[in-house]
Amino acid sequence: MPADACPYRKPFPTGFDECPAFTPQTYVAFDLHYQPTSAVNSCSHLTIGELPGQLGAYYPRCGLGTRAQRVSWVRQVSADRLAGLRELSAEYRAWSRSRMGPLWELKGRMLAARHRGDLAEARQAGHALEAGLHELLRGAEEFVDARRARCETLGLLPEPLKELIRLATQDWAWRSTLTDGYQVPDELLERFAEPNRLFFTSTRTAIVPH
């Protein structure tokens, strides 16, 4: 396997800690009927690599690179900061899990209606999704405000963090495909401390659990 292949068994079990750079991310997809599937534990660095010279041969690729590059990334972010960011992310995932379920259903309903050509149903589902997003993001701001001191200790100013959550969540809601993750804009990245920029751009994808 290539040197940047992820060597660990997947899906990652709860509490997985064998890789020092592991950054948990919950992955959900739609089935062929636009119904959300069960959540799977993944890593924000996990991407798809293609074996050279072998058409259609793929492998689990680490977006950070080789083992040495993963270790270097952890050193640059700092192990203590990374642990704090993981903990905060885990809390957000737990907080958002039940709130995101209805939004997944609405997005699936909207996409299914579009697929059928039922524009009236698609608009109705879209309006309901927009209203649900408004409530979710209002709660997300309260979530961040309640952890303001911890965020600032980690170098996460609350207002840019709220903006990151807002943009990434809206991107998820209105994007019709699930193949590409949200790309954090440069102008928003500049509002974070350098170690946190490295955290958010490890594979140029923000970690916003769905």
- How do residues 164-203 score in pLDDT, each as one tens digit? 999 999 999 998 765 556 778 889 989 998 888 888 876 5
Q: pTM for the full model?
A: 0.83
d(CA 107, CA 187): 29
Q: What per-residue string of b and e applies to 98-131 under the rule 16 or more CB within 10 Å gives b? A: eebeebbbbbbbbbbbbeeeeeeebeebbebbee
Here the tokens at position 174 are 């209105």
The letter for the amino acid at 175 is R
For the chain, which residues score pLDDT lower than 70?
177-181, 202-210
Do 195 and 77 contact (CB within 8 A), yes or no?
A: yes
Q: Please write down the long-range contacts of 158-167, taking CB distance under 8 Å and 24 or more positions apart.
A: 159/191, 160/188, 160/191, 160/192, 163/188, 163/191, 164/188, 164/200, 164/206, 164/208, 165/137, 165/140, 165/208, 166/137, 166/140
DSSP E strands in the chain: the ranges are: 24-27, 40-43, 46-50, 58-62
d(CA 26, CA 142): 22
Q: How far is CA 14 from CA 5, 6, 11, 97, in A?
A: 21, 17, 9, 15
pLDDT at residue 161 in the model: 95
